[in-house]
Amino acid sequence: MSTSIDPISYTAQIVAAKRAIEQSLSVPLFNDPYAATLAGDEVENLLAKWRQVAKRQGRSLEEVITKRTRYIAIRTRFLDDLVLATLPQFSEPQVVILGSGLDTRAYRLPWPPATRFYEVDMPGVLNYKGNALGSIKPNCRHHMIAGDLENFQTGWIARLLKAGLRQESPIIWILEGVVMYLPEPSAHSLLRTVAALSCPGSVLGMDAVKSGSILAAQSAENANRGRVVRHWQFGCDEPQQLLKGYGWSAEVSQPQDIKIAHSRYSEPMPITAEVGGHQQERGVWLIKARKDR
Ligand SMILES: C[S@@+](CC[C@H](N)C(=O)[O-])C[C@H]1O[C@@H](n2cnc3c(N)ncnc32)[C@H](O)[C@@H]1O
């Protein structure tokens, strides 16, 4: 992506690079044939760093990759599985990915052709993605909607509705790697808006970061490291309660609890970190929810 892109949007390229590198493992958790094209030079940037880490720690590169890509890999697979399990329940599926970045689900999953698929992100990211993928087109009714998720005045909701999103039919929403980048009031406004657009039976897949990890990330920001986590703002310790407040029944897991991830977590969990003189529990939540009212 061009260097003029904002640093939060750039996190999408780092995520794409991790998805691309995951493909080099002997048993990748998902198949993303487009991630390498979208990630560009970022793949080699990460691999160069991880080769150094492997050397320093006396481990194989495969071991380092497995650890450094595991969260993105598990999150991708968890949300792929959620979408694929939900699709047969809807005759004309509608999918909305907020903060879609360089996600390639529209291009790589087997959509019924009547599926209406919407991706919302900053214009720079969506333009980059469209240009990088060139003639590769999704096999569904696909719309890219530019908008700022923190600013409803940018009109992205009106554009979603104009592009055919139907509020009276259930919607599958994905908020993957997104709410943690928003200030707390904006995260709540976004969840409130998503809920208002969703009729009962709608499905939401998302992840969220515990507040101990947000605090630790702020130390990374102060230390000028952590190219992704330094932008995190919104932490959440009770995701079920949070979503219940917006009318969703949520099932919440942690990545190490997901069956397919067991081999990737050998160390004891949860991890704690000392932040401001206190031990804080760090970690992330993987969430699937259904709208019940
Ligand atoms: C870590 S990336 C995740 C991208 C994608 N969901 C994935 O998992 O590959 C975060 C994405 O959220 C988008 N984002 C963050 N804040 C946003 C905002 N206020 N409005 C629109 N997009 C935003 C960024 O541009 C970026 O593409």
Do 239 and 208 meet the contact criterion of CB atoms below 8 Å apart?
Answer: yes
Distance CA 34, CA 11 (A): 17
Mean pLDDT computed over 8-35? 94
- Residue 3 confidence (pLDDT): 54
| Residue of 234, 180, 235, 177 lying closest to 12 (CA atoms) | 177
For residue 69 the two structure tokens come to: 């890509």
Pick from 60-64, 122-126, 210-214, 260-264: least confident: 260-264
| Pairwise CA distance, residues 85 & 186, whole Å | 30
90-291: CATH topology is Rossmann fold (3.40.50)
Q: How many Å lie between the centroid of ligand 1 and the Cα of residue 72?
A: 14
Task: For the chain, give every domain's residue range.
Answer: 90-291
**What contacts 225, CB < 8 A, 6 or more positions away?**
none
70 near 50, Cβ under 8 Å? Answer: no
pLDDT at 2: 63
pLDDT band at 271 (very low <50, low <70, confident <90, very high): confident
Collect all residues with Cβ–Cβ distance below 8 Å to 87 and sequence separation of at least 6: 93, 111, 112, 115, 172
Residues with CB under 6 A from ligand 1: 8-9, 11-12, 15, 99-103, 121-122, 125, 148-150, 176-178, 181
Distance 178 CA to ligand 1 centre (A): 5
pTM, whole model, 2 decimals?
0.95
Q: Residue 25 Cα, ligand 1 centroid: separation in angstroms?
A: 26
Q: Which atom of ligand 1 is nearest to the CA of 76?
A: 8
